[in-house]
A and B are shown apart, each in its own frame.
Chain A
């Protein structure tokens, strides 16, 4: 058993220590909002916050987490998260939606550290989050809109 804090709750998880966090979340804890896209940290679909820092959960094994707290799309509930979600709904960003948990978690981390990002800041923060439906123009607008809502 490994101790793991997810979305403010302590869990004793039984997954093997080499299991990537993504699969602990999905298969053991039933938190399926975090998605599998590539399994090698090259798409961003699996982005979660580790002690607040956006992290690719598909490549970090359970054994490497230590005492860091995990926040997933299901657990983001800050004011910033509310604004991001509202902007995402207003601008109808999602198409298939599969990448969007990762995009939203990434956007929340960006806006928490930088409440008024410019286009370059957005590129730097989210360029690793692929969207096959190419909703990028709306992602960009939605980040700006969320910043506006928070201002």
Chain B
């Protein structure tokens, strides 16, 4: 039995049992620290593969690992083509170097996001593995005086069967390094895959089961100090004056540094810094501070929704069709600001040496951070070194348009040359900083003709532009696609269709949040379609089927989820079922939710059936995990999450006021994967968008109440 045929459990039994090699592979699997030297590996055919004298195969992973599986998925591709055993493989984060580690879906820019890691690197990583393999084969052929075509590579052994010769990678590594790098390599036919498509054990798991995985919060450099920053209470406020006497008087306090973003207190450890921050007396200049509340913003957004916006899509004549409609339906949907609320609050370690700066943190947006750091520190990017560590979640937060906390850490370090400084944001700092999913108001209007057909669809979206916060923002009179994605691409065959965008500018930083615009567009479109189905007396699934023309993959997941969920089967009283389907980041996901209404307006999501088409499935276990996580993340937001402002002050800054989903609220989840040979696409985000509309539609089914304002903590009619 070859290793690739083992189930995960068998893998582990072998790995933790007699086979020392596999044990080593599992134990030492993932080293998060960056660097491309991987010790002094004798064979470094390209930017991605390092083969050591000890047979180790270190894959340099250009995408950060924060739970979505890049440190396993990308090495899987290399290992597949290389012909090593999985036990040989280690993963190491790549340094910031866009010339070698760019995201191929993003031009020359380096970073992780848009669920693009597997999609952009699929061929690149396979080629890297195939290249290294070809060079090992060439080296063996030369040494053994045989034809390369007669040599096979499997399980980490290079073999010439006729002569009985065999060698381990480590034995050939030094020789292979002298072989020319081949220009063209042949990749395996998918029928030959032994790793791709199988549940290889994740390399980062063991260190995350014994507390030894190193996150930014855990790294300690010699002589390192800890910094906390007093931030202004309102967006747009500035430091007016500081009395740092009482803070400096505390033992262990090393420095107080004024920054554009606040006042930093630097001390020997976290608790000292925290007490010193409390002792700091800062007066804020609030003459330009933002003092509105959420209700003010919503009122303004509603007023804007009455006016035409930037045109994102126009098919036919929606106005005329609405005027002629037999029945017109209208609904407003409201979506709050949402915090990413990663379990590890933002933090960053920096050391500034006068003419260079080195940083250690969960680097997600290398190119963005390099640009922002370079401008803030007035250093060329070559003088800035970024070391990628494990991150305790991101969901978009660390791919950071303004590099807020990263630049803050670097500025503090610049004031203390030579001393490494760890900036720690408390949970409260993290939640109050903005960078939220933008608050949104959607206005939808649709016309039904006399036969119940949808003749017109009008959709106006009011929400801040995320791209406007980038260092080089697009022009303000252009539609930001992240505001309308999923709405402007409405898949349903409706002859007259209009989608417009208002992108009001506010001094509140906003950012992409796990599936970005789809977080709200999937909700409003899939809920509104459900409303139309009921108004027309149609089954919501049947209506979707009818309106999806030439859309086989969307229909595929829809039918699969519906069939597995038992769509149409009767449910008990006060229970309901809802469906939604959405396409995001090149992946199709349909979800069917079953809910029960409980006493006091509470509700429970009992079961969620997920069908996903993400092309070729590289690691089924990771795809399932990401769907489960996406469902939980979306349900958390639906059930309870909202950041609100009153008089410009953030009201929710910790988990007592910003409730996250709990274990007891997690539904039963079944994930069904569509078998496909199409190129692999993203799974980190696409599980999120269909969940909330599926649940909202199920709640309507259960009790007749429409959900139009999120979060939904209680159901009035239940």
Contact = CB atoms under 8 A, between A and B. Distances in A.
B625 interface: yes
B209 A104 contact: yes
A28 B269 contact: yes
Contacts of A129: 663
B270 A38 contact: no
Contacts of A92: 8, 201-202, 205, 621, 625
B67 A96 contact: yes
B588 interface: no
Size class of the B contact interface (CB-based, 8 Å): 35 or more
Interface in B172-220: 201-202, 204-215, 217-218, 220
A39 interface: yes
A77 to B, nearest CB: 10
B271 A42 contact: no
A37 B392 CA distance: 10
A136 to B, nearest CB: 4
A19 interface: yes
B212 A33 contact: yes
Contact of B662 (A32, A130, A135): A130
A36 B654 CA distance: 13
A122 B217 contact: no
B66 interface: yes
B344 A98 contact: yes
Contacts of A57: none
Contacts of A97: 67, 204, 207-208, 213, 390, 392
A96 B391 contact: yes
B259 interface: no
A38 B226 contact: no
Contacts of B482: none
A86 B546 CA distance: 49
A40 interface: yes
Interface in A38-85: 38-40, 42-43, 45, 72-74, 85
Interface string A10-46: 0000011011100100111010111111111011010
Contacts of A18: 271
Given A89-B12, A96-B344, A101-B211, A138 B271 contact: no
B393 A98 contact: yes
B68 interface: yes
B660 interface: yes
A35 B271 contact: no
A23 B629 contact: no
B699 to A, nearest CB: 20
A90 B390 contact: no
A132 B341 CA distance: 7
Contacts of A99: 343, 392
A134 B269 contact: no
B663 A127 contact: yes
Given A27-B271, A42-B656, A140 B210 contact: no
Contacts of A96: 66-67, 342-344, 390-394
Nearest to B217: A36
A138 to B, nearest CB: 7
Contact of B271 (A20, A134, A135): A20
B120 interface: no
Contacts of A123: 663-664
A19 B201 contact: no
A77 B66 CA distance: 27
B664 A35 contact: no
A15 to B, nearest CB: 7
A137 B205 contact: no
Nearest to A30: B220
A28 B271 CA distance: 11
B628 A135 contact: yes
A122 B663 CA distance: 9
A127 B660 CA distance: 11
- In this complex, which of B209, B342, B390 has the most chain A Cβ atoms within 10 angstroms of its Cβ? B209
B209 A37 contact: no
A150 interface: no
Interface in B310-360: 341-345
Contacts of A43: 343, 655
A108 to B, nearest CB: 12
Interface stretch (B104-112, B370-378, B631-639): B631-639
A134 B654 contact: no
A42 B655 CA distance: 6
B343 to A, nearest CB: 4
Contacts of A101: 211
Contacts of B302: none
A94 B390 CA distance: 13
B631 A26 contact: no
B666 interface: yes
B427 interface: yes
Contacts of B12: 86, 89-90
A137 B40 CA distance: 42
A26 B342 contact: no
A74 B218 CA distance: 14
B629 A133 contact: yes
Nearest to B220: A30
Interface of B: 8-9, 12, 16, 66-68, 201-202, 204-215, 217-218, 220, 226, 269-272, 341-345, 390-395, 426-427, 621, 625, 628-629, 631-633, 635-636, 654-656, 660-664, 666, 668-669
27 contacts: A20-B271, A23-B270, A32-B218, A32-B220, A35-B344, A38-B427, A42-B654, A43-B343, A45-B343, A72-B211, A85-B210, A90-B8, A90-B9, A92-B201, A94-B204, A96-B392, A97-B213, A99-B343, A104-B209, A123-B664, A127-B664, A128-B662, A132-B342, A132-B395, A134-B631, A137-B632, A138-B628
Given A35-B217, A72-B211, 7 more contacts: A18-B271, A33-B212, A38-B654, A85-B209, A96-B343, A96-B393, A123-B664
Kindly list the 7 A-B residue pairs having the minimum CB-CB distance in the complex, ordered from nearest.
Answer: A33-B211, A134-B632, A98-B392, A95-B67, A97-B208, A96-B67, A73-B211
